Structure 1
Amino acid sequence: MTTVSATGIFSERTIRRARLGSGLVIFIFVLLHLSNHAIGLISVAAADKGAHLFLMIWRNPVGTAIFYSSVLIHIALVLRAIYMRRSLVMPKGEMAQIVLGLMIPLLLIDHVIGTRIAHAFYGYIDDYDAVVSMLWIRNPTNGMRQALGVVAVWIHGCIGIHFWLRYRPWYPAFAPLLLALAILVPVLSLLGFVEMGRTLADPSYRQAMTISAYKEGVNTHYTSNPEVHRQVAMIRAGLYGAFSASLLIVVVARARRKLKERLDQVAVHYPGGEVIRVPRGFSVLEASRLGGLPHYSVCGGKGQCSTCRVQILGDYENLPAPDKMEQTTLRRINAGPDVRLACQLRPNSDVAVAPLLVPAVEAALPANSQETSPGREREIAVLFVDIRHFTTLTETRLPFDVVFLLNRYFAIIGKAVEQAGGRLDKFIGDGAMALFGLGTTPEEACRQALNAAAAIVAEIEKLAAELADELALPLRIAIGIHTGPAVVGTMGYGRVRSMTAIGDTVNVASRLESAAKEFEAAIVISEPVASLSGADLSGIESREISVRGRALPLKVYVIPREKAAEPLEGKG
């Protein structure tokens, strides 16, 4: 079985975008609807006034067409995704989203019938007085059901938004705020519903209300007319039946496919000797999940990252060719011809593979847990700092004196890095490494790194003056700063695990710190840092240096000690 092309109107990428777009329309509708409910904390009248704006947006021909077409498209694509998924073994977050999504129609069909359909077909005036009275006073069981529906649809939407945004560089910085909103919106909505229900249940409020004869006549006709009840029952049966039949078709189609696939299987061999037999058409990632083998997949098996990549052990030329999306990802990491993405490779014959990113065995993480993620690539700035002539400085000092000096030195670095907005990564002997840009833009990361470097140099000058009489040589430091892509993730062994960064960017930053020592300078920064930060480097010497592993020389700026303690002002 071949994969669907990544291009064209009905490509997987287009279908995924249609599912995302329709989901966003529904989420905006739900957000505005729940926000309107929250206005009920003020009064029923205020909520009704807010509903006028809400209905102006969604109860016109354009709004109605956009919303209900989005609902139909989203449900259809979700059912298609359930059918297309070869294995129902998946991370808990994905499972929760699917289960909640299937519950939503069952919980909210009656609400749709009692509001939108009743209004469109029978002229029912579905203001807050009518709807809340029905759910709170006359049928509280249905009211509880609608409350569960609110929670289900909101959590389903929030999980989808999280999966969509979780690997955006800016998302970690805004995640706490978005989480607060995700909690407040349904809570305030439900509190607004409760407050309106209590208000309408108060006899004194009912006596003071003035209900128009027209509204009372129309709504009474809807609620008491047997013919209307019969028609509504037919509509209800049709909607529940259509959804149940659609779900049943998916279940039957999956069962039929599974029966056929039992007769047509392939074996996936792993380096540890494991052999997992799966139906032809399954991906290697799905084989790993079915067999309970830990296998990285940061993007959830969508081909948008390379963490699930495997090396083909044997003949790789006869495997199905990678589609455009997989080719793009493989080219980005300069993968060899024998490297494929496990989530996209669907072998048509027995195959032997070796995962290239192996989860830590000692962590004993579940096979499909997102906690097995090794991290992801980010654009960051890396700062290395080291004491010059440290051995000469300390060779005649007592060990406790050396510890005292290092602690003073490390405190200066830590405070400067944190105040600038960076993260202190690690101390290495008398050196330290700091990361900037974990929650901000590359431009801001470079500015933060330069500010931290200036603060470190200034404070070290003060410490040098304080200890001048005790040290054999003046206390001097060397700093190197570079920016670029690096893999940031939790690494280590056992309990000694911490977030760090690896990659060429880190290596170059370390080389620039060594270059600062060679040039007898305080700070050496690369040209990308200078460009992104917008620093004014007029009067600062520039050089080109060779960096191991790079074919071309790298342009750097050499900042002497006399100017290093002064923050570099932006251009223009």
Structure 2
Amino acid sequence: MATIADTGIFSERNIRRARLGSGLVMFTFVVLHLSNHALGLISVAAADDGRRLFVALWRNPLGTLIFYSAIFIHIVLVLRSIYMRRSLVMPNGEMAQIVLGLAIPLLLIDHVVGTRIVHELYRYADNYETVVRQLWILSFGNGIRQAVALIVVWIHGCIGLHFWLRYRPWYDGLAPLLLALAILLPVLSLLGFIEMGRTIAEPDYEGLVDTGRYQENLNTRYYSDPHAQRQIAMIRAGLYGSFSLALLSVVAARTRRKWKERTDQIAVHYPGGETIKVPRGFTVLEASRLGGLPHYSVCGGKGQCSTCRVQILGDYQRLPQPDQLEQKTLERINAAPDVRLACQLRPDHDITVAPLLIPATETALPANTQETSPGREREIAVLFCDIRNFTSLTETRLPFDIVFLLNRYFALVGKAVEQAGGRIDKFIGDGAMALFGIGTSPGEACRQALKAAETITSEIEKLGTELADELTIPLQIAIGIHFGPAVVGTMGYGRVRNLTAVGDTVNVASRLESAAKEFEAALVISEPVADLSGADMRGIESRDISVRGRALPLKVYVIHKEQAGGPLNGKA
């Protein structure tokens, strides 16, 4: 099936934005509504006071238009996305979001009809005293249903918000706080509802408040006129029927399309010998999922990442040209002409592909899973350090003595890095690699790296003095620090996986550590590190060095041991 045009108001990008925007409007409504419920922990009167502000915001003409337009747009676009999916095989998180979302109208239609619609038609006062009395005393089963609806709505919204934010650079740092809020708000809301229900159910409550307001509600036309009740019943049935009809229409359209596609299939071949036949119009990613083959798709098949990319083994020029969204992503990663995004490529003939981010030997990876910490580009500071002349230091020592020395060295390096706010990436022989800036600003990352280098230099000198009688030559360190973009993500195989970084920045930092040995210095830092950290480099030797893979020389600062305590403090 042809996709909607990739440009103009109805482009896929704008459709996704509309779905996200409408979802955020509804999520804002839910957050304020649950917060209002939580005021019930104080008193029924406090909850009603909060309700007046809530109603003033959402029941004015503009608020009503925005909110109910968001509901309509979101439902329509969700149903469209279900139809557009050529396969319903998907990761569990996506499936949970869809199933919970489809359950929401069925759980909330009664509540909407019994509050907003009855209020608009018959001036029914749907305040907390009336609604809680109805759900807690007169119809406790409906109260349980609304509690379930609250949880379903909240989980659905939180999953959507998580999918939207999970790859923002700042999200990891805020995730624990957001999780706490995600748990706390619905709990407080339910507790507020329970507390109001218990209060209103108390026999003494009738004597403490003016219950005439409740009696006025009972005397409204909604309760006294059978015609009004039939009208409300018809509205309720119409809403249930409309949603059910829309959902059944999507199912029927998918069934009709599937029946027609059985006679028009193509084969997708994989390097491992697997062949998956799918209807023409399926994406390669959908073919992989349908066949149960592991295939990464960090963004969920929206063309906003390149983790699902595949190499076309054969005549790639016969394939449909990439649309604007896919082309932009491919250009960003400098992809070769025979590389395409599996989530966007809809082949119109048999094709052979090789997923580029799925190792063929990694058969233990469950089908349809996504990497828990996929690689994404960040600007970080990378520190490499190494013991100078380590071979000479250890050639006459016993193996246990070497292990003892290395463990002391690794301990002081690890402690210095962690205290400065960085993260030890790995230990390699007598060398170590550390990352700074995964959750901080560039300037702070560089200052943290310099602080760690200062501490390592100082502690190595103390360790050298302590072990002077046992060492044949003085213990000295060489450190290199560089700042720039790198791909940071979980890499490895099987259980041996860890967060690491790769890229030119890492290679340059390693080269600077080697340069520190060549210049017999304690530390060599690149010009970006010096500038971003605000370190005072007056009186520090600077040099231009060549770095493999770079056309132009790189300006660096060479800092000797006796200078390490000065410029590293900088302006921080």
Name the structure 2 match of 1:301.
301
Deviates more, 1:20-29 or 1:270-279: 270-279
Name the structure 2 match of 1:216.
215
Amino acid of the structure 1 residue aligned with 2:108? L
State the alpha-carbon separation in 1 of the partners of residues 501 and 440 from structure 2: 16
State the alpha-carbon separation in 1 of the partners of residues 226 and 361 from structure 2: 66
Check 1:272–1:110 CA distance in 2 against 1; reply closer, same or farther (3 A cut).
same
Amino acid of the structure 1 residue aligned with 2:442? P
State the alpha-carbon separation in 1 of the partners of residues 474 and 403 from structure 2: 18
Amino acid of the structure 1 residue aligned with 2:177? L
State the alpha-carbon separation in 1 of the partners of residues 569 and 371 from structure 2: 42
**Alignment gaps of 5+ in structure 1:** none
Amino acid of the structure 1 residue aligned with 2:318? N
Amino acid of the structure 2 residue aligned with 1:217? E
State the alpha-carbon separation in 2 of the partners of residues 164 and 365 from structure 1: 25
Name the structure 2 match of 1:479.
479
Residue by residue over 1:523-549, the C-alpha shift from the partner in whole angstroms, topping out at 9 and shown as x without a partner, is 112222223333332332222211112
TM-score normalized by structure 1?
0.96
8 A contact 1:79–1:250 mirrored in 2: yes
Deviation, structure 1 residue 208? 2.1
Deviation, structure 1 residue 249? 1.1
Residue by residue over 1:68-127, the C-alpha shift from the partner in whole angstroms, topping out at 9 and shown as x without a partner, is 111111111111111111110000000000000000000001111111111111101111
Amino acid of the structure 2 residue aligned with 1:302? K
Amino acid of the structure 1 residue aligned with 2:328? T
8 A contact 2:40–2:193 mirrored in 1: yes
State the alpha-carbon separation in 2 of the partners of residues 493 and 16 from structure 1: 34
Q: Show the 5 A alignment for 1:291-330.
A: 291-330=291-330
State the alpha-carbon separation in 2 of the partners of residues 445 and 324 from structure 1: 36
Identity of aligned residues (%): 76
Amino acid of the structure 2 residue aligned with 1:276? I
Residue by residue over 1:458-512, the C-alpha shift from the partner in whole angstroms, topping out at 9 and shown as x without a partner, is 2112222222333222211111112223232333334333222222221111111
8 A contact 1:170–1:441 mirrored in 2: no
Deviates more, 1:330-339 or 1:394-403: 394-403
Secondary structure of 1:512 counterpart: helix
Secondary structure of 2:353 counterpart: strand
8 A contact 1:87–1:290 mirrored in 2: yes
8 A contact 2:284–2:347 mirrored in 1: yes
State the alpha-carbon separation in 1 of the partners of residues 378 and 554 from structure 2: 21
8 A contact 2:310–2:341 mirrored in 1: yes
Name the structure 1 match of 2:526.
526
State the alpha-carbon separation in 2 of the partners of residues 359 and 195 from structure 1: 55
Q: Does 1:370 align with 2:370?
A: yes
8 A contact 1:169–1:440 mirrored in 2: no
Secondary structure of 2:510 counterpart: helix
State the alpha-carbon separation in 1 of the partners of residues 326 and 507 from structure 2: 29
Name the structure 2 match of 1:245.
245
Amino acid of the structure 2 residue aligned with 1:62? L
8 A contact 2:288–2:295 mirrored in 1: yes
Name the structure 2 match of 1:63.
63
Name the structure 1 match of 2:270.
270
Secondary structure of 1:77 counterpart: helix
Deviation, structure 1 residue 396? 2.8
Secondary structure of 1:565 counterpart: coil
State the alpha-carbon separation in 2 of the partners of residues 206 and 318 from structure 1: 78
Name the structure 1 match of 2:178.
178
Name the structure 2 match of 1:357.
357
Secondary structure of 1:110 counterpart: helix
Name the structure 1 match of 2:469.
469
8 A contact 1:363–1:494 mirrored in 2: no
State the alpha-carbon separation in 2 of the partners of residues 228 and 54 from structure 1: 27
Name the structure 2 match of 1:75.
75
Deviation, structure 1 residue 570? 4.6
Amino acid of the structure 1 residue aligned with 2:172? P
Name the structure 1 match of 2:136.
136
Supply the RMSD in Å over aligned alpha carbons: 1.7
State the alpha-carbon separation in 1 of the partners of residues 450 and 165 from structure 2: 29
Deviates more, 1:537-546 or 1:129-138: 537-546
Secondary structure of 2:484 counterpart: strand
Name the structure 1 match of 2:447.
447
State the alpha-carbon separation in 1 of the partners of residues 429 and 566 from structure 2: 27
Q: Show the 5 A alignment for 1:76-475.
A: 76-212=76-212, 216-221=215-220, 222-359=222-359, 361-362=361-362, 364-371=364-371, 374-475=374-475
State the alpha-carbon separation in 2 of the partners of residues 209 and 141 from structure 1: 26
Residue by residue over 1:338-373, the C-alpha shift from the partner in whole angstroms, topping out at 9 and shown as x without a partner, is 110111111111111111111474462321112476
Check 1:207–1:372 CA distance in 2 against 1; reply closer, same or farther (3 A cut).
closer
8 A contact 2:113–2:236 mirrored in 1: yes
State the alpha-carbon separation in 2 of the partners of residues 381 and 266 from structure 1: 48
Residue by residue over 1:389-448, the C-alpha shift from the partner in whole angstroms, topping out at 9 and shown as x without a partner, is 111222233333222222211111010111111111111111111112222333322221
State the alpha-carbon separation in 2 of the partners of residues 516 and 485 from structure 1: 22
Amino acid of the structure 2 residue aligned with 1:397? R
Secondary structure of 1:383 counterpart: strand
Deviation, structure 1 residue 189? 0.4
8 A contact 1:38–1:191 mirrored in 2: yes
8 A contact 1:296–1:358 mirrored in 2: yes
Deviation, structure 1 residue 455? 1.2
State the alpha-carbon separation in 2 of the partners of residues 199 and 27 from structure 1: 29
Residue by residue over 1:257-287, the C-alpha shift from the partner in whole angstroms, topping out at 9 and shown as x without a partner, is 1111112111111111111111111100000
Secondary structure of 1:343 counterpart: coil
Deviates more, 1:553-562 or 1:181-190: 553-562
8 A contact 1:296–1:373 mirrored in 2: no
